[in-house]
């Protein structure tokens, strides 16, 4: 990697862009280091068996250095702020652990113990961060855990801090916005495998760190790769204005469903005059649609809730903090920060719709929409994580879908069929390669990547084609201000040069064990191999002991649907078991034969019905191709 270099064209583009950056504004440097108490002496975080989870020194090459020529200086600066790791005091009684993961963990001190907010992605990372807190602030029992929203970087590390037993014994409340558990799990049921593979591109966890490699993801440096855990909430926050006092700490809540996450909330600590905005504000333009893939978010609702936040607490704030990045202190600055973030999402939404109603399509709007100079002059509105370009396309998609109404785009050939035709039209492989080379020489890396893509999809064994596509993607990565774009471009280049890196390893058994019965059947249904199942008709009843409900699953016409029934019809095979056993049977962690023998699972009817259904399920592929056909 180290011999990779930016071309003159890329350097010139970077220099031109850098000239417009508000380099005189150093406030973030003060804020990212303010209240610093200590760094952790434990710099390498691993699993129990020694697998690396997080390296606090991975980005030391960036500390105190000018941006490398192979990096956008704005993204470099963001990375430098994000590697200010350690324990920080926000205000007396409120502390943050930063730099231990993609996200930030906050600790609120109560009369006898502490409230922990958002325990990172991995149990190992959360435990290491909390150990630093304990080392400097003393051993205090955890009295409550708050999840601000339903994304894994805000709950996955929970078991590094508290246990199921403590929650069951009533020692710790687990507080989350209503709908948290459903959404935390649902995101993983339908498209989880593909999202994780794509997340490897977006966060660059498998990429080499270095000036010509991974330098961050804008929201945090990257994702930790330890054990993702989950403990279900014991308290739902259902409405704005809801209040709680925990261990002497007063909290007022604002629910913000359908913003950055489907279940999310902001909350205010009146005794500290401090506001936690979850992930509704951050020091970046966030995603309306993340490039790992997701349902499109609603920037209109997002902006509306931020207005409500300002109305609720704007006149009584001393500091606003969140679960990524550093806080903003001072009432005026904090309110202006909230208002700027609000304006940013609203402007993107409204201006995309203005142009959409003038007939422009997503890619066209993305190319011409400019943010107001007053917003561009703020660092926190820059697109380190979301980008104006892909957010505009997301707004278009939210209202219009994938189709731009031009019927020439209604039924085009798919990528491989199109590629062979494009390559032929350019005079065959050598002609197309000449076009790609010309684009490279002209510094038009977007066109070079487009032609290179067709060459590789026409023949993925063509080493020269793979090489020039990788080179073009790499230059696009070097120039990108957006961390997720840089990671995606460099991930593509890496896989073209040295083969697929697959999905970076994580384990998350708790997500599976939290599935509802209905989600279990949904997750099975999306694995049915349609054509092989066309002619099958399989009925199975499932008496779920701990829910006192009987479900009927029916496969017909290749579709597996389920519903609850009072009594399954005569002759239908019926399994009687708990929800946990059902999950075990589906995920392969329960030995069904042994369970039938010891009576954990009982069966009435022909057991072959299940064997036939299981035989129709297709495996998922966590290593599917992306930059090659």
Interface residue list for Zn ion (CB under 5 A): 103, 153, 279
Nearest approach in angstroms of CB 103 to Zn ion is: 5
CA torsion angle 407 413 414 418 (round to 10): -130
Nearest approach in angstroms of CB 120 to Zn ion is: 10
Nearest approach in angstroms of CB 148 to Zn ion is: 8
Pick between residue 103 and residue 506 the one whose CB is nearest to Zn ion. Answer: 103
Number of alpha carbons in the 13 Å side-chain half-sphere of residue 511 = 22
Residues 6+ apart with CB under 8 A from 426: 432, 435, 451
Residues β-bridged to residue 114: 109, 142
Question: Which SS3 state, helix, strand or coil, does residue 283 take?
Answer: coil
Residue 280 CA to residue 535 CA, distance in Å, equals 49
Pick between residue 31 and residue 153 the one whose CB is nearest to Zn ion. Answer: 153
Provide the 8-state DSSP code for 169: T
Pick between residue 149 and residue 398 the one whose CB is nearest to Zn ion. Answer: 149
Edge-first strand order for the sheet with 243-246 is 243-246, 249-255, 265-269, 274-276, 319-321, 328-329
- Tokens representing 376? 């561009």
**What Cα–Cα distance (Å) separates residue 475 from each residue in 313, 516, 558, 562?**
45, 46, 46, 50
Nearest approach in angstroms of CB 220 to Zn ion is: 8
Nearest approach in angstroms of CB 553 to Zn ion is: 35
Residue 7's CB is within 10 A of a number of other CB atoms, namely 18
Give the chain's largest Cα–Cα span: 78
Residue 201's CB is within 10 A of a number of other CB atoms, namely 24
Pick between residue 211 and residue 262 the one whose CB is nearest to Zn ion. Answer: 262
**What Cα–Cα distance (Å) separates residue 81 from each residue in 480, 484, 513, 613?**
18, 17, 37, 52
Phi, psi for residue 426 in degrees, rounded to 5: -90, 15
Pick between residue 279 and residue 481 the one whose CB is nearest to Zn ion. Answer: 279
Residue 81 CA to residue 77 CA, distance in Å, equals 6
Nearest approach in angstroms of CB 230 to Zn ion is: 15
Pick between residue 123 and residue 552 the one whose CB is nearest to Zn ion. Answer: 123
Nearest approach in angstroms of CB 9 to Zn ion is: 35
Nearest approach in angstroms of CB 60 to Zn ion is: 24
Pick between residue 124 and residue 153 the one whose CB is nearest to Zn ion. Answer: 153
Pick between residue 214 and residue 287 the one whose CB is nearest to Zn ion. Answer: 287
Residue 381 CA to residue 338 CA, distance in Å, equals 11
Pick between residue 79 and residue 452 the one whose CB is nearest to Zn ion. Answer: 79
Within 283-371, strands assigned E span: 319-321, 328-329
Nearest approach in angstroms of CB 324 to Zn ion is: 6
Pick between residue 152 and residue 296 the one whose CB is nearest to Zn ion. Answer: 152
Nearest approach in angstroms of CB 286 to Zn ion is: 9
Closest CA to 146 of 269, 17, 290: 269
């Amino acid at each position: 990697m180290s011999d990779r270099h930016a071309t003159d064209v890329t350097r010139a583009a970077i220099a031109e862009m850098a000239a417009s950056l508000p380099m005189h504004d150093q406030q973030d440097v003060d804020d990212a280091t303010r209240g610093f108490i200590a760094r952790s002496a434990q710099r390498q975080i691993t699993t129990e068996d020694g697998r690396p989870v997080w390296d606090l020194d991975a980005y030391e090459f960036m500390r105190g250095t000018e941006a490398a020529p192979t990096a956008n200086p704005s993204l470099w600066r963001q990375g430098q702020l994000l590697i200010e790791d350690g324990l920080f005091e926000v205000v007396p009684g409120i502390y943050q652990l930063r730099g231990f993961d993609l996200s930030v963990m906050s600790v609120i001190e109560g009369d006898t113990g502490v409230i922990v907010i958002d325990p990172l992605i991995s149990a190992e990372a959360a435990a290491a961060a909390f150990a630093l807190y304990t080392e400097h602030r003393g051993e205090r029992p955890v009295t409550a855990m708050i999840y601000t929203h339903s994304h894994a970087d805000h709950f996955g590390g929970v078991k590094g801090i508290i246990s199921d037993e403590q929650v069951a014994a009533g020692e710790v409340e687990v507080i989350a916005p209503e709908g948290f558990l459903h959404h935390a799990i649902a995101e993983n049921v339908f498209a989880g495998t593909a999202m994780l593979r794509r997340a490897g591109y977006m966060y660059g966890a498998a990429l080499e760190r270095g000036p010509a490699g991974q330098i961050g993801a804008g929201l945090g440096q990257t994702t930790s790769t330890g054990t993702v855990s989950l403990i279900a909430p014991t308290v739902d926050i259902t409405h704005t204005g809801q209040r709680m006092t925990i261990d002497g700490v007063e909290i007022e809540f604002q629910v913000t469903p359908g913003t950055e996450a489907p279940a999310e909330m902001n909350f205010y600590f009146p005794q500290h005059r401090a506001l936690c905005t979850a992930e509704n504000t951050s020091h970046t333009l966030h995603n309306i649609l993340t490039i790992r893939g997701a349902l499109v978010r609603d920037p209109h609702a997002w902006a509306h809730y931020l207005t409500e936040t300002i109305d609720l607490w704007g006149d009584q704030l001393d500091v606003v903090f969140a679960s990524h990045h550093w806080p903003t202190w001072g009432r005026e600055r904090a309110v202006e920060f909230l208002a700027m973030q609000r304006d940013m999402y609203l402007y993107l939404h409204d201006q995309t719709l203005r142009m959409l109603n003038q007939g422009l399509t997503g890619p066209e709007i993305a190319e011409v929409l400019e943010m107001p100079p007053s917003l561009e002059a703020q660092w926190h509105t820059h697109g380190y994580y979301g980008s104006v370009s892909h957010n505009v396309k997301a707004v278009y998609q939210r209202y219009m879908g994938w189709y731009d109404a031009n019927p020439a785009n209604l039924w085009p050939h798919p990528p491989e069929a199109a590629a062979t035709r494009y390559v032929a039209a350019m005079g065959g492989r050598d002609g197309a390669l000449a076009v790609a080379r010309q684009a490279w020489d002209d510094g038009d890396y977007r066109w070079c990547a487009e032609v290179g893509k067709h060459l590789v999809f026409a023949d993925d064994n063509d080493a020269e084609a793979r090489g020039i596509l990788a080179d073009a993607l790499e230059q696009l990565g070097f120039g990108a201000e957006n961390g997720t774009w840089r990671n995606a471009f460099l991930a593509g280049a890496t896989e073209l040069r040295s083969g697929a890196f697959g999905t970076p390893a994580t384990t998350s058994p708790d997500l599976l064990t939290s599935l509802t019965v209905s989600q279990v059947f949904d997750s099975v249904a999306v694995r049915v191999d349609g054509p092989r199942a066309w002619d099958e008709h399989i009925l199975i009843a499932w008496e779920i002991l701990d829910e006192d409900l009987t479900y009927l699953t029916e496969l017909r016409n290749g579709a597996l649907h389920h519903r609850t029934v009072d009594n399954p019809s005569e002759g239908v095979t019926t399994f009687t078991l708990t929800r946990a056993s059902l999950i075990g049977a589906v995920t392969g962690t329960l030995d069904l034969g042994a369970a039938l023998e010891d009576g954990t699972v009982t069966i009435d009817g022909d057991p072959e019905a299940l064997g036939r259904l299981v035989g129709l399920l297709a495996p998922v592929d966590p290593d599917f191709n992306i930059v090659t056909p």
